[in-house]
Structure formats: C-alpha cells, structure tokens
Amino acid sequence: MDNKFLDILLETKELKNSLYSILKHSFLYHSNKIEGSTFTTEALALLLDKNVVTGKHTLDDVQETVNSSYVFDTIVETLGTKISHSFLKNLHSSLMFNTTIHSKGYAGIYKKIPNMIIGTDTKVAQPFEVEPKLEELFEWYYNLKNITLDDIAEFHYRFELIHPFQDGNGRIGRFLMLKQMLENNLPIKIVSWDTEDLYRNSLKLSSIGNYSPLSTYLKTLPDFREEYKEFWENV
C-alpha cells in the first residue's frame, strides 16, 4: 500500500525542523513526560538538536531521554522487522543503557522479580509467564490481516498486562504502537501527557476480550499526519 507519509518521514530523517524531527520531538516529549521526565519541550529540543542539557534533571532522566532518542531512530530504521524476544530486549537495553536499571543488571532482560502497574490493582504476568505469553501475543498479531487501530489497542493492552521488563514497559509499549501505526499506514496517535489520566483509565477499564476503552481513547487523539499534512501531503 502506498504510504507517502512514511516515504517523506524517511527522506527527512537527517534534516532539522523536518517531519521526522517534529514527530520525534512530539513522541518523545509526551511519552517520557508520562513517565515523570522533567524535560520541557524547549529543553528537549535543545537536547535533540544541539546535545545541550538545560534545567534540573536527575541523571537517570537525562540518560533515559538521550537513550529514547536512539530508540526512536531504531524503531524507524527497523520498520518491517517483526517484534520478537530479541527485538524487545534490544529496545529495552538501549532505553536503559547507563541508568540505574542498567547498573542493577535489569536492562535488556525480562523481569526476574514480580512487578505491578503502579496505582492499579491489575494483576500482571509473573516472571515465568512472560516468554510464553509474549509468544502467544506475537503469534496472534502476525496472523492478523489488515491490521487496525483496534488491533493495536489490543496488542498494547496485552503487552502492558504482561509487563515483561522490570521497568520501562510503558515507554516500550508506546514505541511498539508507533512502529505498528507506521508499518500499517494508520493514523499516528501520540499518547499525550495531558491526557495521561484518560490513557491510564482506559487501560484500567479494558480487560482481556474487551479493549474498547483503550481503542476509543486512541481514536479520540488527533492524527499527527493530519496536524502536519503540509509537511508531506503535497511534497
């Protein structure tokens, strides 16, 4: 299927103030802020464009923000590559490089200690369940035909319910959603920090077999492609 948006996105990868840089900045700003990053949109732009850090941040916040920039590039560079155990572990290892999680030996490996989604009573997978549940998820997803936003919502919910890593599951999950939207020529929905409560509530209200709360939430978000169509539609 023709995907002009993706073609222009790839063509502008090395250009500043381009479609690629705008999507990268917007996605990283919101996804990281949801997880507590203190980078403002201006401070993030300086970091991405000039490698300059301004403001007061923890070392982990700085390192994870830098790392997330590389993970974004990896997501775009590996479009078409199937999500697998090695793919997930490489993403997580890159995201957590040189952070506290990395120093504790938890980067790039599935969780060894039971964890939870803070602020909820949702029961997530136990460590021994992670690999088989992910295998089931991969098999289901790659047997789908004509993938839709509803399918991506289901994948995201099931991934977060597995919660495969000790930390960083939300960010990895949102990176995977971006990958899936780009690969399937779908509206680009960026989970925004100012709708964080709605996002978390949609996850809380969803359940296995009922993904409509999360799907409905995603559909209410603006389509990045429409917001910035002057950067690609008539090029």
User: Any known ligand binding at 168?
Assistant: yes
User: Any known ligand binding at 105?
Assistant: no
At residue 33's C-alpha, the angle toward residues 114 and 98, to 5°, is 60
H or E element in which residue 172 lies: helix 169-183
Q: Sign of the C-alpha dihedral, residues 43, 47, 50, 51?
A: positive
User: Any known ligand binding at 172?
Assistant: yes
The SS3 of residue 190 is coil
From 25, 30, 156, 163, the catalytic residue = 163
Is 163 catalytic? The answer is yes
Contact between 223 and 233 (Cβ < 8 Å): no
CB-based burial, 72-103: b 16+ in 10 Å, e otherwise: bebbbeeeeeebeeebbbebbebbbbebebbe
User: Any known ligand binding at 55?
Assistant: no
User: Any known ligand binding at 171?
Assistant: yes
Contact between 60 and 167 (Cβ < 8 Å): no
Q: Which residues are the active-site residues?
A: 163
Known binding residues are: 167-174
Known binding residues for ATP are: 167-174
